Amino acid sequence: MQSHRSLKGIDVSHWEGRIDFPEVRRDGIRIVYIKASEGDREVDPDFERNYREAQTAGLKIGSTS
C-alpha cells in the first residue's frame, strides 16, 4: 500500500501585511507560496522580506506570479 503525505500550506502577498511566520508554523502550516510578481513588470514589494522570514521560520517555500 502506498502512503501519501500532505502538507498544509498558504499563499501570501503584500496584501496580507506583515506575517508572523513562526506563528504560522506553530499553527501547523508547513509550506508557503509567496507572490513574487504581478505581470511582467511589477515585483511584490514584500517578496524578499516574506521569503527571508518564511525561510528563517523553517517553512518550505514556493513562489507565484
Cell 511589477, residue located: 42
| H-helix or E-strand spanning residue 9 | strand 9-12
43-54 mean pLDDT: 96
Please state, in angstroms and as integers, the Cα–Cα distance from residue 15 to each residue in 1, 46, 49, following that order: 42, 9, 13
CB 29 within 8 A of CB 54: no
Give the chain's end-to-end CA distance (angstroms, integer): 37
| pLDDT (tens digit per residue) in 2-45 | 677 888 999 999 999 999 999 999 999 999 999 999 888 899 99
